[in-house]
Structure 1
Amino acid sequence: PIRVVGAGGNATEADVTQGSRYAAGLPVTLDGVTYRPPHPAQVINLSLGGAISAADAQPMCVAIAEARAAGSLVVAAAGNGYGT
Structure 2
Amino acid sequence: MQNPPGPGAPVAGRPCQHLGDKGTVAGGSNVFCQTNFANRTLAWRAVVDGGGCLSKRMRGIGIDGRNYACRADGPGLDHWRPIR
Whose strand proportion is higher, 1 or 2? 2
The structure showing larger relative contact order (alpha-carbon pairs under 8 Å, at least 6 residues apart) is 1
- For the aligned pair, the TM-score class normalised by the smaller chain equals under 0.3
TM-score normalized with structure 1 length: 0.26
Whose helix proportion is higher, 1 or 2? 1
